[in-house]
Amino acid sequence: MPQTHCLLIGAPVDSGQHRPGCLMGPAAYRTAGLAGALEALGHSVTDLGDVACAPIPATSANSAVHHLPETLGWTRALAEAGEAACAKGMPIFMGGDHSLALGSVAGVAAAAKASGRPLFVLWLDAHSDFHTPSTTVSGNLHGTPVAYLAGREFPEFPPFPAPVPPENICLFGIRSVDAAEHAALLEHEIAINDMRVLDERGVVAPLREFLELVEAADGLLHVSLDVDFLDPSVAPAVGTTVPGGATFREAHLVMELLHESGRVTSLDLVELNPFLDERGRTAHLMVDLVASLMGKKVFDRPTRSFRGQM
């Protein structure tokens, strides 16, 4: 497998939800050996350290929204870090709660726009994250990134640099969708592969269909991997557990198919809460999944070249 230069970007974001602990995520990935796992596969690694956040003063018309200044600060900082990293290799954002994707995908989208290639997004998550700041009841902004990147109304935020067309977005493994999100999703042509679909069709067919679209468009692919994509029985270190998620083997199969596609150019690792983990069990599983995405397998099979750079 051709070498990819991986840039690790720590995003100790804890402001997008109420349960503390996700800010320890980047340190947990480092301790679990993410850099070493990538280097063992022949990739080069630069750890850029943790991004710093400078809150941006702002208020929301929705009184439920909390930590808006911090989230705006993280969005700007991570967008800048992500766009810069795309010019050098494959950014891997180590979170941190899922509100970090407001910035990570914005940065990647800006780089994709500059390269003249379309961006596709694979959302591996129990939740659709399709709220806007005005529709969220909990006020948790980790439930809004897909709506932001799809170009929905976010008056408190800077305009998304290049909204991702709905047909370029794939929600995969979802099993918890609020009523407001459900209604909004019906108005968009987003591929929705919830657990009912995966139970009926398996993970291979729907994922390959999406990857074929990416291939046909010569697109760049951002993967956002939430710990709660996995079933809590195998990945307990998350504050938003939803039963019925992907099994250990299904998750590895998804990663192997992504590797074989040769299309992944950026990655989020989100919602790891080490405070809720069992002796690093979830952190080590997430590192193992990244290794599968980057080429680790039991038996080598011919694959296409891996496009790790813009």
- Point out the residues that are catalytic: 98, 125, 127, 129, 142, 226, 228, 271
Name the helix (H) or strand (E) containing 76. Answer: helix 68-86
φ, ψ (nearest 5 deg) of residue 225 = -105, 110
Tokens of 76: 């700007």
Cα distance from N-terminal residue to C-terminal residue, the chain: 18
Give one word for 271, left, alpha or beta, with left for phi > 0 and alpha for psi -120 to 50: left
Strand partners, 246: 230
**Residues 96 and 14: beta-carbon distance below 8 Å:** yes
**Residue count (the chain):** 310
User: Reading across the β-sheet that carries 191-194, which strands appear in turn?
Assistant: 44-50, 5-11, 90-95, 264-270, 220-226, 119-124, 169-174, 191-194
Q: Write the single-letter amino acid at 308.
A: G
DSSP letter assigned to residue 10? E
Cβ neighbours around 59 below 10 Å, total: 10
Residue 188 to residues 165, 170, 224: CA-CA distances in angstroms? 9, 12, 20
